[in-house]
């Protein structure tokens, strides 16, 4: 499908608005092609393959960011990740970026309100990520993803999500004016597959040992034990 000057202008304006640069406007345009369009127009590619790729890039960037930023156990990281990359989280970002206005839909989907359906908007967000990864590489795609993932993570934390070590320190300091003390009591296994056992001391009380594959995660588990069992 040949791009008109008007369409190229719309796509360029979108790039300027969200801070990305595409060498191939055709690649970006494809990211906006819903499958309902290709069902009605022969020879037009839809965005489903780009969505598949973008979903993986989005997951990788988000997981890496959370791993570096937080000390939380794997279960917490997975929960946070699932929230910030969900359809519920991505659809409002898509509307903010004006993606709804650029979608190309089949007549039936257009008439049924597809332009504002959260699933279609979220899928298009992922397709754009996939297209940008192919067009510009991982680093620019990562920068784009973080532009909306970091605010989403910060928003979750502003609503009260804190890692267990932070929660424990705040509560224990408020009660005693002291800090929790973490003790590595054992480290076993070969270098490539170690297991760490950690206790946390709250004054004279000791909680643990908690066991995990990293010292950070063992500390988080010990902190959770203390939070659940210490009388604040």
Residue 126 annotated to the active site: yes
Q: Tell me the CB-side half-sphere exposure of residue 19, using CA atoms within 13 A.
A: 9
Q: Give CA–CA dist 131/58, Å, rounded.
A: 12
Q: Among 51, 55, 76, 219, which one carries the catalytic annotation?
A: 55
Cα 119 from Cα 113, distance rounded (Å): 12
Determine whether 42 is exposed, middle or buried from the number of CB atoms within 10 Å of its CB (0-12, 13-18, 19+): exposed
Evaluate the CA torsion angle 31, 34, 37, 38 in order and state its sign. Answer: positive
Token reading at 148: 């909306």
Cβ contacts of 77 within 8 Å, gap of 6 or more: 63, 66, 67, 70
CB 136 within 8 A of CB 22: yes
From the candidates 126, 135, 142, 163, give the one annotated as an active-site residue: 126
Active-site annotation holds for 13? no
- Name beta bridge partners: 19: none
Which amino acids are annotated catalytic? Answer: 55, 126
């Amino acid at each position: 499908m040949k791009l008109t000057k008007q369409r190229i202008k719309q796509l360029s304006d979108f790039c300027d608005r969200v801070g990305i640069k595409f060498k191939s406007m055709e690649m970006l345009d494809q990211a906006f092609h819903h499958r309902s369009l290709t069902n009605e127009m022969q020879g037009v590619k839809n965005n489903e393959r780009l969505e598949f790729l973008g979903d993986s890039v989005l997951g990788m960037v988000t997981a890496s960011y959370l791993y570096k930023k937080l000390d939380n156990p794997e279960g917490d990281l997975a929960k946070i990740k699932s929230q910030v990359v969900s359809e519920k989280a991505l659809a409002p970002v898509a509307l903010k970026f004006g993606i709804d206005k650029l979608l190309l839909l089949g007549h039936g989907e257009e008439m049924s309100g597809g332009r504002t359906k959260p699933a279609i908007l979220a899928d298009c967000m992922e397709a754009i990520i996939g297209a940008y990864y192919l067009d510009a590489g991982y680093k620019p795609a990562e920068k784009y993803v973080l532009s909306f993932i970091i605010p989403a993570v910060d928003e979750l934390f502003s609503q009260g999500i804190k890692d267990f070590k932070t929660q424990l320190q705040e509560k224990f300091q408020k009660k005693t004016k002291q800090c929790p003390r973490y003790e590595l009591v054992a480290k076993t296994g070969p270098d490539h597959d170690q297991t760490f056992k950690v206790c946390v001391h709250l004054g004279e009380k000791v909680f643990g040992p908690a066991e995990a594959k990293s010292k950070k995660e063992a500390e988080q588990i010990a902190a959770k034990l203390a939070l659940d069992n210490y009388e604040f």
